Amino acid sequence: MVTYGKRTYGRVDEIEGTGAVETLFFHIWWVPLVPIESLFCLDGPEGTERSERQVRSIPLSVKSVVTAWTRLFFGFIAFFAILPGFGMLAEGEEGAWVALTSIGVGVVSLAVFFVVGRWARRCTPERRAELLGEG
């Protein structure tokens, strides 16, 4: 069974207590493939479902698209480096340095995954004014 549809990814330019920019992607198995449009998604009350949020269409955000794809890339690298690395260590194969290198690459990729997400959520005062329609 193939899971596909539309979903938002690439949360960037977060404005505390107000909302953030996200991009609606066509996805297959939750892998964002084709960006459709960027949205300014308003935060609802605690427990608001994703589909019930108020959104406003904005021009396609390159920052959001690049963030989504970058996190996807480094997430895959982390997954496909850490698991085989631990598998090689568990089997006791010769060349533990290969396993440790694989795990190291995975850990660095995982760190990049989280740092990119954290960095991208910062919103400059100019961007904040643009999103909120101020000035």
Q: What is the pLDDT of residues 65-118, one digit of tens each?
A: 999 999 999 999 999 999 888 888 887 767 788 888 999 999 999 999 999 999
Residue 13 CA to chain centroid, in angstroms? Answer: 13
Q: What is the DSSP string of 28-59?
A: ETTEEEEEEEEEEEEP-STT--GGGS-EEEES
User: Region 5-22: what's the mean pLDDT?
Assistant: 94
pLDDT tens per residue, range 36-67: 999 999 987 766 676 678 899 999 999 999 99
Helix (H) or strand (E) holding 115: helix 96-120
**Is the predicted pLDDT of residue 135 greater than 60, yes or no?**
no
Averaged confidence pLDDT in the chain: 91
Place of tokens 């694989």: 102
Measuring CA to CA, which residue among 127, 134, 120 is closest to residue 59?
A: 127
Domain that holds residue 128: 4-132
pTM of the model: 0.86
Angle at 77 between CA 102 and CA 117, to 5 degrees: 125
- Report the number of distinct structural domains present in the chain: 1
